[in-house]
Amino acid sequence: MEGYFHGKRHSRRAEPDASLIALNECEAEANDRLASHSSLDSSARHTQLKDIEIQVPFPVTSTPSALPASTLLAAIQSKSARAGVIGLGYVGLPLAMTMARAGYRVTGFDIDPGKMVAIEAGKSYIEAVPDHILAGETAAGRFSATTDFSQLSDCDVIAICVPTPLTHHRDPDLSFVEKTCEKIAETLRPGQLIVLESTTYPGTTDEVMKPILEKSGLRSGEDFFIGYSPEREDPGNREFETSTIPKIVAGDGEAATGMMQAFYGAVVKTVVPVASTATAEAVKLTENIFRAVNIALVNELKVVYEAMGIDVWDVIDAAKTKPFGYMPFYPGPGLGGHCIPIDPFYLTWKSREYDQPTRFIELAGEINTAMPRHVITRLAEALDIKAGKALSRSKILILGLSYKKNVPDIRESPSLKLMEIILERGGDFDYYDPFVGEIPQTREYGHLRGRTSIEWNEVTIRSYDAVLVATDHDDVDYQALTEWSPLIIDTRNVFGRRAIAAEHIVKA
C-alpha cells in the first residue's frame, strides 16, 4: 500500500468509483442515523457526528482510485493518520495543538526558524497556547515542527493556515496560498486530504488551490481530496477555544466533505457541513463583513453625535437595554486584526467579476478607514483648545499598540496608523503597551520598526503633552493616568466605563 501512495497516478475510469459510492452510502447512513435523533437540534446533531463510526467495507478493489478514499478514511477514524499544519501563527499553532490533544500525530510547518527554536524549547509565542501544552504535546511525540516542506508527503491531512492580506491597492493577495499549494504539489501523493483554512473570497478553493495541486498530475476527488474550513480564531477570547468553536466544512465532492467531517469531528466539538467550498468561503466573509458594517455604523454615529454634543457610548448603553431587535457594537480608532479590516475587500473584489456592486460594504470600509484621521483631528483640536499648543510641536503618548485589549497581536492595528499620521503632521510620539515591548517589522509600517514601549511611571507620563488611549488594556492604572497626564484622548470609553470623569479627558 505504501508503494502505491508514492507511485504514479493510474488512468481515470469512466465508471463510478466503487469506494466513493461505498463512502457516500455510509455517510448517508450516518446522516440518517443522526436525523433519527429528532430530539436533537441541528447543532447537537453536528456534535453527535463524531460519535458515529462511518463503516467502509474493506477491501475495495474495483478501481485503483478506491484505495486513497477508503484507506484515508480508515486512518482518520483510527487516528493513525498524520496531520500537517502549514503556518504556525495565531491560527495554525492552536489548531495543531488541538489536533495533537485529540490524539493525532501532527507536524507543523513554517518558514520562520525562530518559531522552530521556540517550539523546541517548549516556549509558546502564542497566548492561546500555554507553554506546558506545547511542551507536553512535543514531549509526548504527538507534535513536531519543521521548516522542511518535503515532509509534507508524510502527512495524510494537511491544513493550510497562511496569511491572506491585501495588496497596496487593496486587492486580495493570495501569494502565500499559491506558494504553499505549489510546495504541496511537489510532494503530493494519492490518499491526502488538503484543507484551506485561510480567509478568502468564494471560489478560491476551486479556482486557485485545485488547479495548482492538479499540476502534479493527480486529480482531486480521485487521487487526493481538497476542502475548505474557515478559521474562526479570536485572540484573547477566554470563553471559546479552537475545540469549542463550531467548524464549518465543505469538500470538493461528497467524499472529501465526509472525510473532513470525520477528521474535524474528532478534533472539535461541533462540525457544520455546508453545500460547497464557495459557500464555506462566503460564510467567513459574511461573519466579518457583518461586524465591519456595524462597526462602521457606530463610528459614523459617533462623529454625528459628537457634533450634536451627544455621547455615543451613553446612547449605546441605553439602546442595548432593549431585549430584542438590537445588538450593541462600539466605535473605536479604526479596525484592527487579521480579518475584519481585510475580509470585506475580498468580497468587493470578487463581486466585480459578476458585475455586482457592493456599495454598502465599500462605504463601511471608507468610514472605518477614515477613523484614525478623525481621531488625530480631535487630538489636534483638543491640544489647541485646552493647551494652546499645535500638534506639530507636541509629543504624544499612545496607550496601546495591539489591535484589541489584553493581547500582543498588532496585525492591522489602528495604533500604527495613528503613529504615522502624528509623524505626518509634524508631531512626535512614544507608546506604552504591557503586551508589546517593541514594534516588529510590518509590511506597511517598516519605518516604525524598533520603537520600544516606555516605562510606566509618573515622571515619564508627565513629560507628554497628551495621552491617546488607542487600546483599553485592563492592566493599566487609569486613575493614576488621569492624575499624571494634562490631556487624555479616549477612543475606547475606558474612563467612562470606570466612572472616571475630568475636564481634561476628551472622548474621540
Report, as residue numbers or ranges, the catalytic residues.
339
Q: What is the dihedral of CA 110, 114, 118, 124, to 10 degrees?
A: -70
The H-assigned helical ranges of 153-265 are 175-187, 204, 210-214, 254-265
CA 499 to chain centre: 34
* CA dihedral (300, 303, 305, 308) positive or negative: negative
Question: Does an H or E element contain 86, and which?
Answer: strand 82-86
The HSE-up count of residue 256 (CA atoms within 13 Å, CB side) is 29
Query: 109: which strand partners?
Result: 86, 146
Under 8 Å CB-to-CB from 232, ≥6 apart: which residues? 245, 246, 247, 248, 284, 287
**Identity of the residue numbered 191:** G
| Alpha-carbon span 434 to 454, nearest angstrom | 9
Strand, coil or helix: 446:
helix
CB-CB contact of 463 with 457 (8 Å): no
Question: 497566548: which residue's cell?
Answer: 127
Distances in Å between the Cα of 374 and the Cα atoms of 69, 299, 353, 380, 395 are 56, 10, 33, 10, 18
CB-CB contact of 469 with 507 (8 Å): no
Cell of 339: 480579518
| Alpha-carbon span 267 to 371, nearest angstrom | 40
CB-CB contact of 6 with 153 (8 Å): yes
Cell of 423: 509623524
| Alpha-carbon span 52 to 32, nearest angstrom | 11
Strand, coil or helix: 201:
coil
| Alpha-carbon span 157 to 265, nearest angstrom | 14
CA nearest to 233, candidates 132, 368, 91: 91
* Other beta carbons less than 10 A from residue 77's beta carbon: 19
CB-CB contact of 274 with 280 (8 Å): yes
| Alpha-carbon span 110 to 87, nearest angstrom | 5
